[in-house]
Amino acid sequence: MTTPATTQERLSMQGFIDSKPRLKFVFFGGKGGVGKTVLAGAAAVGLAQQGKRVLLASTNPVHSLSGMLNQDVFGKPTPVEGVENLWAYEIDTKDTIERSKQEIREKIEWFLKFADIKGRADEFIETATMNPAFEESAMFENMLDIMFRDEYEMYVFDTAPTANARRLLGMSSVYALWVNKMVQSREEAKQMRLQLSFSKKEEEKDPLMDYLINFRQRMERAKELLTDPELTAFFFVTLPEALPIAVIRRFINWFEEFGIPIGGVIVNMRIDAESVSAEADEFVHNRVKMQAEYMEEIEKLFGPMVRSVLPLYETEVRGVPMLKRLAGQLFA
């Protein structure tokens, strides 16, 4: 292995974890298929084995934890068989989405009435909820709920809601301005209505205002937790291949820009050159050679951020015994 160009101390995964005794929220980001779910599983297993009460949670609309664990963990935190201190939980996003739709419907209907606009809310709701960002927002809300409930010592999330975290943290000052502005103009509108109306009827509840204020509070709290480098770490997973490297380079740039704490880089699916027979097809040798080239690039780009390099196993990673094996290598 070449030595990194910088003098920055190079920490292994275990070294990093040891250096962050208060670490609580762990995320894995990267291109699809690089092993985020499997690494979240291995990290959760490893941390639980080190004595922490850990929740491994998935907010994805299409879940893969149950498949990986060979155990149904859908709908509620479920103790993982064969690992003490570990619970796994696939959150029902459909449910959340239905609930958010209902909430949005109420707000839109209320707003149409408030503004005296004739029309049906349905069209607005359809437009608002067809947006792919809507599903991601629902996932993000679910994640925040779990974080705020604070029932475990550590949380490992399968799949970092990277785009959302970025949006949230990058835009949070804009959000704050926007919400403040909204709150202000709603106050003014209410005053007007009060002055104009002759009937001095009891002041009505204002669900939009409540929502805005609540939303602002949630975002502020989320930002506090997610930008605290003692509490939160995002790990980026790559393969020794061009595209996965390009993806995490971009993520790392965003995250640095917005002050989101980066735990480091994990390289997955490295083919063990020893295991490849000399007579193997050229196809295989070329793959090994390609990986070696990209390992050099990874070293140059990320050097001291690389926490672990994990081998490509002979089969896909499934079941607790295999996750334990992967955890052993991740924390070696």
Partner 1 sequence: MILLDTEKAAKLFAKYDVPISGYIVNRVIPKEIALSEHAPNYLRNRYDMQQKYLAKIREAFGNEVQAEVPEMERDIAGLDMIARMAEAMYEGETL
Ligand X SMILES: Nc1ncnc2c1ncn2[C@@H]1O[C@H](COP(=O)(O)OP(=O)(O)O)[C@@H](O)[C@H]1O
* CB nearer ligand X, residue 32 or residue 119: 32
Of 212, 266, 317, 320, which one interacts with ligand X (CB under 6 A)? 317
Judged by CB under 8 A, does residue 281 bind partner 1? yes
Phi and psi at residue 268, to the nearest 5°: -115, 160
* CB nearer ligand X, residue 208 or residue 312: 312
* CB nearer partner 1, residue 116 or residue 282: 282
> 11 is written with which tokens?
């920490």
Phi and psi at residue 2, to the nearest 5°: -80, 150
Report the site for partner 1 in 59-118 (rule: CB under 8 A).
Answer: 62, 64
Please state the closest distance from residue 80 (CB atom) to partner 1, in A.
20
CB-CB contact of 56 with 85 (8 Å)? no
Beta-carbon-side half-sphere exposure of residue 160 (alpha carbons within 13 Å): 31
| Alpha-carbon gap, residue 316 to 294, rounded angstroms | 22
Please state the closest distance from residue 161 (CB atom) to Mg ion, in A.
12
Strand 306-311 to strand 262-270: parallel, antiparallel, or no bridges (unpaired)?
parallel
Q: How many CB atoms lie within 10 A of CB 159?
A: 19
Per-residue DSSP letter, 3: P
Question: Considering CB distances under 5 to 8 angstroms, the limit depending on partner class, which of ligand X, partner 1, Mg ion, none binds residue 310?
Answer: ligand X
Please state the closest distance from residue 256 (CB atom) to Mg ion, in A.
24
Judged by CB under 8 A, does residue 295 bind partner 1? no
Of 13, 37, 161, 248, which one interacts with Mg ion (CB under 5 A)? 37
Judged by CB under 8 A, does residue 314 bind partner 1? yes
Site string for ligand X, 267-306 (x = CB under 6 A): -xx-------------------------------------
Question: Considering CB distances under 5 to 8 angstroms, the limit depending on partner class, which of Mg ion, partner 1, ligand X, none binds residue 241?
Answer: partner 1
> 84 is written with which tokens?
């003490």
Strand 78-79 to strand 86-90: parallel, antiparallel, or no bridges (unpaired)?
antiparallel
Judged by CB under 8 A, does residue 284 bind partner 1? yes
For 100, residues 6+ apart whose C-beta sits below 8 A from its C-beta are: 129, 134, 137, 138, 141
CB-CB contact of 190 with 59 (8 Å)? no
Judged by CB under 6 A, does residue 310 bind ligand X? yes
Please state the closest distance from residue 70 (CB atom) to partner 1, in A.
16
Please state the closest distance from residue 89 (CB atom) to ligand X, in A.
16
> 281 is written with which tokens?
């097809």
Per-residue DSSP letter, 53: -
Of 133, 242, 292, 332, which one interacts with partner 1 (CB under 8 A)? 242
| Alpha-carbon gap, residue 65 to 320, rounded angstroms | 11
Judged by CB under 6 A, does residue 316 bind ligand X? yes
Judged by CB under 6 A, does residue 35 bind ligand X? yes
| Alpha-carbon gap, residue 264 to 305, rounded angstroms | 5
CA distances from 146 to 58, 95, 151 (A): 11, 15, 8
Judged by CB under 6 A, does residue 263 bind ligand X? no
| Alpha-carbon gap, residue 316 to 284, rounded angstroms | 18
Report the site for Mg ion in 250-309 (rule: CB under 5 A).
Answer: none
Please state the closest distance from residue 286 (CB atom) to partner 1, in A.
4
Question: Considering CB distances under 5 to 8 angstroms, the limit depending on partner class, which of Mg ion, ligand X, partner 1, none binds residue 283?
Answer: partner 1
> 139 is written with which tokens?
């996932």
Phi and psi at residue 264, to the nearest 5°: 145, -175
Of 64, 129, 164, 227, which one interacts with ligand X (CB under 6 A)? 64
Task: Kindly list the residues in this chain that would bind partner 1 in the complex (CB under 8 A).
Answer: 32-33, 62, 64, 241-243, 271, 275-277, 279-284, 286-287, 290, 312-316
